[in-house]
């Protein structure tokens, strides 16, 4: 009976998609399939489907074996996350990997932190590419966005002393930064009202919101679109250490190592269960390279662990997991755990 219900539900989704003129097929595993049409970009498709492009772009690239956003052709079939998910895993009123619990609590219901913008002053001998590598930012995936946000026409012409804004997946160690909050537009929303709710000056940030959201007219937003709002924040060494704390519901404990040699372990909140990380039984949010780390999972009643996936932060490089443990590499990592009924 349950299988028949799921089958009927997916059939209704397909009929609805065809009625709306969109080549979309929804699946029960939190993903959907879309066939590109002339004029489509992955960003515009994500906007149509209510998918947070920025939070999912690395997953989309890896899943569809994409190396460049500019080489996609009409007729190509893409596997995309379902609306409101990161990599097919539901997220609700939470923040991106690396944010603090305090930052997450300030979000409006249903909003999430998609990523962060950090500012870097270019030094002699640096290139935007080399700075991205230092910060663990995927340059290839973000090149066009960095150009647009900074008004860069040619990376070879970026001068020493120039301040560039760069997208990151974790809070910087100190200083000011910007949380990019993803808000799914609902009927009655206005950009002005949303800005006021987050203390954003509309007049000075309108162009930034347009660039982040791929919109030309902020007065013509539509229900279902994803609007990206720049919310200022600041970090200190203390808050940065707290930023990689275990997911909500798991009490924090002192870290094993907080030196520069310790790699951050960024936790992505999962639905249907919680998880946290330990070294020798102690809860941690960072660990030196070579340390054996255990992923402790706490499924909700009626659920069990489906998969533990670990990536090099801002990259598609995977870390091997063996029976819920892994060896900490010499770089920051991001951990996803999915749960399934059973």
Fold adopted by 2-88: Membrane-bound Lytic Murein Transglycosylase D; Chain A (3.10.350)
User: In this structure, what token pair is assigned to residue 207?
Assistant: 């162009």
pLDDT given for residue 190 in this prediction = 93
| Band of pLDDT at residue 92, cut at 50, 70 and 90 | low
pLDDT digits (tens, 9 = 90+) for 204-263: 899 889 988 888 899 989 888 899 999 887 764 444 444 443 333 333 333 333 333 467
Which of 61-70, 92-101, 221-230, 267-276: highest mean pLDDT? 221-230
Q: CA 330, CA 136: separation in Å to the nearest integer? A: 12
Where b means 16+ CB within 10 Å and e means fewer, 75-100 reads: eeebebbbbbbbbbbbbeebbbbbbb
pLDDT the model gives residue 101: 31
- Tokens 């249903």 identify what position? 110
pLDDT at 195: 92
Residue ranges covered by each domain of the chain:
2-88, 101-235, 244-341
**Mean pLDDT, the chain, whole residue set:** 76
Which tokens is 231 given?
A: 């919310």
CA 214 to chain CA centroid, nearest Å? 17
Query: Pick from 44, 116, 127, 118: which is nearest to 80 by CA?
Result: 44
What is the pTM (predicted TM-score) of this model?
A: 0.57
The confidence band for 269, taking pLDDT boundaries of 50, 70 and 90, is low
Q: How far apart are CA 188 and CA 209, in angstroms?
A: 18
According to the model, what pLDDT value does residue 77 have? 92
From 106, 111, 108, 107, select the one nearest 91 (Cα to Cα): 111
CA 311 to chain centre: 13
SS3 135: helix
Q: Is the dihedral of CA 227, 232, 235, 239 positive or negative?
A: negative
Query: pLDDT, tens digit, for every residue of 134-172?
Result: 777 878 778 888 888 888 989 988 999 999 988 887 776
Identify the band that residue 27 occupies on the pLDDT scale cut at 50, 70 and 90: low
Q: Please tell me the least confidently modeled range out of 81-95, 212-226, 269-283.
A: 81-95
Closest Cα partner for 28 from 3, 60, 63, 58? 3
């Amino acid at each position: 009976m349950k299988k028949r219900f799921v089958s009927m539900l997916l059939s209704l989704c397909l009929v609805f998609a065809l009625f709306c003129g969109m080549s979309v097929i929804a699946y029960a595993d939190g993903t959907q399939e879309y066939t590109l049409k002339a004029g489509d970009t992955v960003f515009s498709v994500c906007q149509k489907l209510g998918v947070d492009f920025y939070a999912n772009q690395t997953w989309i690239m890896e899943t569809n074996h994409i190396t460049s956003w500019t080489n996609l052709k009409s007729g190509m079939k893409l596997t995309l996350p379902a609306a409101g998910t990161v990599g097919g895993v539901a997220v609700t009123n939470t923040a991106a990997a690396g944010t603090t619990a305090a930052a997450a609590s300030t979000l409006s219901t249903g909003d999430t932190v998609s990523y962060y913008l950090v500012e870097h002053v270019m030094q002699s001998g640096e290139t935007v590419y080399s700075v991205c590598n230092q910060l663990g930012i995927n340059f290839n995936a973000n090149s066009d966005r960095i150009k647009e946000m900074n008004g860069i026409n040619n990376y070879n012409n970026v001068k020493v002393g120039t301040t560039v804004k760069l997208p990151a997946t974790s809070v910087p160690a100190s200083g000011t930064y910007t949380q990019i909050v993803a808000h799914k537009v609902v009927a009655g929303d206005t950009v002005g009202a949303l800005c006021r709710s987050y203390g954003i000056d509309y007049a000075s940030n309108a162009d930034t919101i347009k660039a982040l959201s791929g919109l030309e007219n902020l007065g013509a937003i539509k229900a279902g679109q994803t609007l990206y709002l720049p919310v200022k924040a600041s970090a200190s060494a203390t808050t940065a250490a707290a930023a990689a704390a275990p997911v909500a519901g798991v009490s924090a404990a002192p870290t094993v190592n907080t030196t520069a040699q310790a790699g951050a372990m960024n936790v992505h909140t999962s639905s249907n269960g919680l998880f946290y990380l330990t070294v020798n039984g102690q809860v941690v949010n960072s660990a030196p390279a070579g340390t054996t780390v255990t992923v402790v999972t706490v499924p909700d009643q009626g659920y069990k662990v489906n998969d533990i996936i670990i990536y090099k932060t801002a990259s598609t490089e995977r870390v091997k997991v063996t029976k819920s443990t892994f060896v900490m590499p010499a770089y920051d990592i991001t951990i996803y755990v999915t749960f399934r009924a059973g």
